[in-house]
Structure 1
Amino acid sequence: MNGRARAVAVGLLADLLVGDPPPPWHPVGWFGTAMAGAERVLYRDARSAGVAHAGIGALVGWAAARACPSTAVATGICVAGRGLTRAAHEVADRLADDDLDGARELLPGLAGRDPANLDRAEITRAVVESVAENTVDAIVAPACWAVLAGAPGVFVHRAVNTMDAMVGHRNRRYQRYGWAAARLDDAAAWLPARLTACLVATVRPHATARIGRVVRDQASAHPSPNAGVAEAAYAAALDIQLGGTNRYGEAIEHRPRLGNGPPPTPVDIRRATRLCRDVTLAAIALLATMPARTGAAP
C-alpha cells in the first residue's frame, strides 16, 4: 500500500500542477454520458430502479479502471483541485468587477443552487461552501480510495460522486430514484470528510482548537453528514460563518449556521482556495513520506 500511496501523491501533484485532462479524456464526461443513458432506460419513481442505476455506475467505474490500471494516472485524471480553484477564482473575479450577472452565470459550474436571484453575499457564500465540500469530493475522497483500492477505487468513487451530482437530489423526480446514489456517496466520503477536517486543522495550527469546537458542536446539524464537517472546518479555519437558505430548483433548504465569524466576503474565496491548496499539499506530503514496504501495490 505504501508504493500505492506514493503513486497517489504523484497523481495529486500532477493535478495541482497541470489540472484536468481535456474533455475527451475527463472521467466525469464519460460517466455523465453513461449514466444519463442508464437513467433514460431505468428511470422509475422507485428506490429499486435507483439501486440498479447505482450498481451500473459502479460497474462503469470498474470498467474504466480496466482501461487505465495506473493508480497515479487514474488519480491525476479523477482529482479536480486545480479545476476547482480556477472555477472559484473566475467567480471571484466577476464579483471584484461588480459583474453579478457574470458571477451568477458561472456559479452553476461550482454549486447546484439556483443562482437567478442570489446577491453578492449569497454568491460568495455558495462559492466558499463549494470549495469546502469539493475539497472532500474532488481531492481527499478520490485520493483515499486510490490508496485503498488503486485505480478501481478512484474510478468507482468518481462514478459514484458523479451519480450523486446528477440524481442525488431531494426533489420530486429524484427523491426515490436518487436515494441509492446519494447514500453510496455519503458512505464513500464519510471517512475522507473527517480526514479533511484533520488536514484543515493541521495546515491552520493557529485555529486548531476553534476548528475542533465548531466541527464537534455544529457540523452534525447540517443535513449532509460530510459536507457539514468540511464546511464547519473551513468556516472555523477562515473565521467566517457559512450556512443559510439555499434554493435548488424547486427545493428550498435552510442550512444551519456554521462558524462564529462574520459572513464571507469575496476576499474569502481566495482564502478558501489557498486553504484547499494547503490541504492538498499536506496530503501529498503525508502520502509521499509513508514508510516503504516491499511488494506494495502500484
Structure 2
Amino acid sequence: MADPIALVALALDAAIGWPDRLYAWVGHPVGGFARFLNACERHGNRPDRSEATRRALGVATILGLIALTGAAAWWLDREAHLLFGRWGWIASAVLAWPALAQRSLYGHVRPVADALMRGDLPAARSAVARVVGRDTQRLDQAGVSRAAIETLAESFCDGIVAPLFWLLLLGLPGVWVYKAINTADSMIGHKEPRWRAFGWAAARIDDGANWIPARIAGVLVCVAGAGGWAVMKRDARAHASPNAGWPEAAMAGALGVALAGPVSYDGVTQIKPWIGRGGRSATPADIVTGLQIYARACLLLWIVAGGVAWLA
C-alpha cells in the first residue's frame, strides 16, 4: 500500500478547509501566483507592444510560473521526506491540502441557496457575485439559482477533481503546477482584446490540464446524481470551453434543469447555447440538491484516492 497522501489531503480540506484565521496569518499559495502574474502582466502586456511580442511574453510568463512552482514543490516534498523520514508523506499531505477546495466551494454556494430560501434576493445576488463573473444585479431567482449551480459544477472540476488528478499522477509538484496554471487562466486567460495575446498560452495550457479531469468530473456527477448521462453526451460540447461543459451538462441532466443560456458581462448580454435545453428553470431547491450531488461526488473521489493508495 502506498502512502495515502491524497486521501489525507482530502480529509483535511473537508474537515477544516482553509480557515480565515490561517489565511489572515499566512495567506494562501495562490496569492503568490497572483502577485507573480500581476507583475509579469504589468511589464509584458503593455499596449505599446505588438501582439506577437505580448504573446511571446505571455508564453514566457506561464512557462516561468510552471518551472518555479514545480521546482519549489519538488524541493519542499524532498525536504519533507528528508526531515521526517518515513512520516514525510504526512507533511506532503499537509502541503497538498491547500490545493483542494471541497469545503470552500460548498461554503460559497450554500449561502446562495439559504438566502433564496428565506426570500432575500438581494443577499442571494451578493452571495453569488462572489463566485461568478457575470452581472448579478438584475438576476431573478431562477438566474441566481442557475449561476450558483453552474459554478458548483464547473468548480467541482477546477477546485477538486483536477487538483486531485494531478496529485495522484505527479505528486506534490503536479498538484501545485496545476493550481498555478489554473490561476493563470482565471487571471489572464481571457478572450477580451487586452488579454487575448498575453493570456493565450495560459488558456491553452489550462484547457489541456483540465481535459481528462473535466470528463471524469462529468462521469462522477452522473454517478452521484443517478442520471444526466444523455444530457452530458448531447450538450457537453455546446459550452464555449472544451471542458466546463462536461460537469455542467452532467449536473443539468441530473437535476433536470436548463443551464447556461443568455448571460450578461459588464452590461453586455451574450447569447450562449442552453445546456440541458428543454429542462425547467432552476430553483433554490435545485441548488440544495446540486450540493447533495456534489457531496456524493466528492465521496466518490475519497474512494478513488483510497483505492489508488491501496493498489499502488
Q: TM-score, normalised by structure 2?
A: 0.85
Partner residue in 1 for 2:2: 3
Which one has the largest radius of gyration? 2
Which residue identity does 2:98 align to in structure 1? I
Equivalent pair of 2:261/2:275 in contact (CA under 8 Å): no
Matched, 1:231 2:231: no
Equivalent pair of 1:171/1:251 in contact (CA under 8 Å): no
Matched, 1:201 2:190: no
Judged with a 3 Å threshold, the aligned counterparts in structure 2 of structure 1 residues 239 and 75 are, in CA distance, closer, same or farther, namely farther
Partner residue in 2 for 1:263: 281
The alpha-carbon deviation at position 110 of structure 1 amounts to: 1.0
Alpha-carbon distance in 2 for matches of 1:200, 1:7: 24
Partner residue in 2 for 1:213: 230
Paired residue for 1:33, among 22, 35, 38?
35
Paired residue for 1:62, among 59, 62, 70?
70
Alpha-carbon distance in 2 for matches of 1:139, 1:113: 22
Equivalent pair of 1:81/1:138 in contact (CA under 8 Å): yes
Q: TM-score, normalised by structure 1?
A: 0.89
Which residue identity does 1:78 align to in structure 2? A
Which aligned pairs between 1:283-294 and structure 2 lie closer than 5 A? Answer: 283-290=301-308, 292=310
Which residue identity does 2:7 align to in structure 1? A
Paired residue for 1:88, among 106, 109, 118?
109
Alpha-carbon distance in 2 for matches of 1:85, 1:242: 19
Q: Which moved more, 1:223-232 or 1:7-16?
A: 7-16
Which aligned pairs between 1:60-139 and structure 2 lie closer than 5 A? Answer: 60-66=68-74, 68-69=76-77, 70-139=91-160
Q: Which moved more, 1:94-103 or 1:280-289?
A: 94-103
Judged with a 3 Å threshold, the aligned counterparts in structure 2 of structure 1 residues 49 and 248 are, in CA distance, closer, same or farther, namely farther
Q: Higher relative contact order by CA 8 Å / sep ≥ 6: 1 or 2?
A: 1
Which residue identity does 1:253 align to in structure 2? Q
* SS in structure 2 at match of 1:140: helix
Which residue identity does 1:59 align to in structure 2? A
How many residue pairs align between the two structures?
A: 288
Equivalent pair of 2:255/2:290 in contact (CA under 8 Å): yes
* SS in structure 1 at match of 2:274: coil
* SS in structure 1 at match of 2:193: coil
RMSD of Structure 2 on Structure 1 (CA): 2.0
Partner residue in 1 for 2:84: none
Q: After superposition, what is the alpha-carbon deviation per residue over 1:210-252, rounded to whole angstroms, capped at 9, x for unaligned? A: x221111111111111111110001111121111112233664
Alpha-carbon distance in 2 for matches of 1:204, 1:104: 26
Judged with a 3 Å threshold, the aligned counterparts in structure 2 of structure 1 residues 239 and 33 are, in CA distance, closer, same or farther, namely same
Which residue identity does 1:184 align to in structure 2? I
Alpha-carbon distance in 2 for matches of 1:173, 1:141: 28
Query: Gaps (5+ residues) in structure 2?
Result: 78-90
Partner residue in 2 for 1:157: 178
The alpha-carbon deviation at position 271 of structure 1 amounts to: 1.4
Which residue identity does 1:224 align to in structure 2? S
Query: Gaps (5+ residues) in structure 1?
Result: none
Equivalent pair of 1:61/1:158 in contact (CA under 8 Å): no
Alpha-carbon distance in 2 for matches of 1:203, 1:118: 29
